[in-house]
A and B are shown apart, each in its own frame.
Chain A
Amino acid sequence: MADVTSSEPSGAVSSTPLVGGIANATIGVAPTGMTAAPLPARIRASMLLRCFAIQGSWNYEILGGNGLGFCVEPALRQLPGGVDGDAYKQALARQCGYFNAHPYLASLAVGSLARAELDRTPPDKILRFRTALCGPLGSLGDRLVWAAWLPACSLVALLLFGFGWGPLGVAVGFLILYNIGHVALRAWGLGAGWLYGMRLASALSARWLQLGPQYIGRGAALVAGIALPFASHRAIGGGPILDPVPLAVVALTPCLALLLVRLHGKVEGWQLLFGLLAILVLYSTVVL
């Protein structure tokens, strides 16, 4: 669907579970023997705020590595010697190396890596753990957010439009719905990362994370089916459905959609639509 320009995409959509290990982990409760001293609220708030800019310096040299270091940095100030100490500098340097994951689930990495650094885990172990996180966090986040939650919220917004909601209601409704999931996921990730530390597999094997995309996808598909006819009808101006133009829309839309499904991988829908609209412009302005 997208033109990949790098060999390191954050992940691909897959329906297989990504992380084995402890299933049914209870969110917010540390497994036996895992007690973490709470992060001071000010540092936690600073890290969470920085997580919203984790992709601010994303580049083809170290991908999101600098962003990860930027997010972990407030916690590293707790290391012996503070910002001028060797421990701080070595830890910050480790966290700024090559890293790539889904931006929302990267907060899990931020929390767990901050905990690992403050627990004074051996550096080689931290680096191995850090590298191992990229694949699962990228793949799981892509499935959960980009391929499920975001389209689901878009489709709900289209449904609201189809039901006659005004501009403010549709836009604000979409933003509230989407960001409930977005902000909650980032906040949960930071907390769970800190709580589980380097035993993050337990958090990642939670049922809601593994099965969430599937349930959201099913709901969104049903909503999409209802939303598209309503939204299309309103966007052409309403009116009797049995008039020639609405009937033509009803007849032609599935045919064109099927053609696009058949052409999957060869042409994008927006490319085809651009070509069709160019023909329409020529017809309406030159031919008529």
Chain B
Amino acid sequence: MPGFLFDLLPFVLLGAVLGLDVVSFPQAMFSRPIVAATLAGAFAGAPAAGLVVGVALECLALETLPFGASRYPEWGSASVVGGLIGTRGAQDVLLPDPGAWVIGVMAAIATAWLGGWTMVQHRRLIAHWARPRLDMLAAGSMRTVVSLQIFGLTSDLVRGGLLTAVAMAVAWPVTTWAIDAWHLGALETRGALITGAAAVGASAVWKVFHGFSVTRRLFVVGLAMGSGLVLLNG
């Protein structure tokens, strides 16, 4: 057990750093699933499979618009969880194990939802911490400004780490069971998963760009071109 926990530590740290990137610092989008799951896969020795997990999650993240004070799924820490869980048993191969991939995506979705809730709680925590210091802020205290900033950044880092640790602790045994008990064929499983992820991605594109003229027509033209080219290549 201690060895297992020691092995998970890099992933907890990765989840913490990428959770921080979502809102607090530096918002450079290391936390996007296509990067975060790939990194987690690389940490687990399966970067290619991590990328494939990340592609499925990226399609889901396309429909998340992180507007200001709204609550939205937190994909940074979630993608680390998805990347680790989804690449179990996929070392030295290019595609994830089907059972692990499905559980990895489900674990990432659940973690992202929980992560959105923790972000709201984190904002409340900072507000709670700031309230007794508002007088100091109104007096122009640089020390208070900096300490509030440091408190916010540090607590967000801890939030991401804890979230990742809890999610991995829950998802790990489920994955062990799912890998052993999985009976559906690999191609059929991958087909079902990608159908769902691609549909979410396509509907997100349709909805996100609806405000701009001709974008829907361009999307349909692109789909025709893409499908035609895949057909020719396949």
Interface residues of A (CB under 8 A from B): 1-6, 8-15, 52-53, 55-63, 66-67, 69-70, 73, 83, 88-93, 96, 100, 102-104, 138, 142, 146-148, 150-151, 153-155, 157-158, 161, 166-168, 170-171, 174-175, 178-179, 182, 213-214, 217-218, 220-233, 235-242, 245-246, 248-250, 252-261, 264, 268-270, 272-274, 276-278, 280-281, 283-285, 288
Contacts from B to A (Cβ < 8 Å): 23-30, 32, 34-35, 38-39, 41-42, 47-48, 50-52, 55-56, 58-73, 95, 99, 102-103, 105-106, 109-110, 112-113, 116, 120, 123-127, 130-131, 134, 137-142, 145-146, 148-153, 156, 177-178, 181-184, 186-209, 211-216, 218-227, 229-231, 234
The residues of B that contact A227 with a CB separation of less than 8 Å are 222, 226
Q: Considering the chains assembled together, what is the distance between the CA atoms of A6 and B141 in angstroms?
A: 28
Most chain B CB within 10 A, of A174, A182, A242, A284, is at A284
Once the chains bind, are B221 and A222 in contact (CB under 8 Å)? Answer: yes
Distance, CA A108 to CA B211, complexed state (A): 25
Q: Name the contact of A222 in the complex, choosing from B55, B72, B219 (C-beta under 8 A).
A: B219
The A/B interface has a contact count, at CB < 8 Å, of 395
Asked if A61 and B199 make an inter-chain contact with CB atoms under 8 angstroms apart, the answer reads no
Closest CB in chain B relative to A226 CB, distance in Å:
4
A221 to B226, CA, bound (A): 12
Q: Which residues of B contact A138 (CB under 8 A)?
A: 68
B148 shortest CB reach to chain A, Å? 5
Please state if B140 and A90 are interface contacts (CB–CB under 8 Å): yes
- Give the docked Cα–Cα distance between A110 and B178 (Å): 51
- What residues on B are CB-neighbors of A11 within 8 Å? 67-68
Q: How far is the CB of A151 from chain B (nearest CB, A)?
A: 6
- CB atoms of A277 and B193 under 8 A apart: yes
Are A218 and B224 in touch, CB under 8 angstroms? no
Which of A70, A91, A222, A253 lies in contact with B218, CB distance below 8 A? A222
A142 to chain B, nearest CB (A): 6
Kindly list 16 other residue pairs between chains A and B, CB separation below 8 angstroms, not including A96-B145, A218-B215, A261-B207.
A8-B68, A12-B67, A14-B211, A60-B69, A92-B140, A146-B65, A174-B29, A179-B29, A217-B211, A218-B214, A221-B218, A245-B190, A246-B234, A249-B198, A257-B206, A269-B200
Task: Report A-chain residues with C-beta under 8 Å of the C-beta of B230.
Answer: 229-230, 233, 241
**A160: min CB distance to chain B, Å:** 9
Interface majority SS (helix, strand, loop, mixed), chain B: helix
Is there contact, CB below 8 Å, between B120 and A225?
no
The 7 closest A-B pairs by CB, nearest first: A225-B222, A10-B68, A89-B140, A241-B234, A269-B200, A57-B152, A256-B199
Query: Could you tell me if B187 and A171 are in contact, using CB atoms closer than 8 angstroms?
Result: no
Kindly provide the distance from the CB of B13 to the nearest chain A CB, expressed in whole angstroms.
18
Most buried by A among B58, B102, B196, B213: B196
Shortest C-beta distance, A87 to chain B (Å), equals 10
Chain B residues whose C-beta falls within 8 Å of the C-beta of A148 in the assembled complex: 209
B199/A63 in contact, CB under 8 A: no
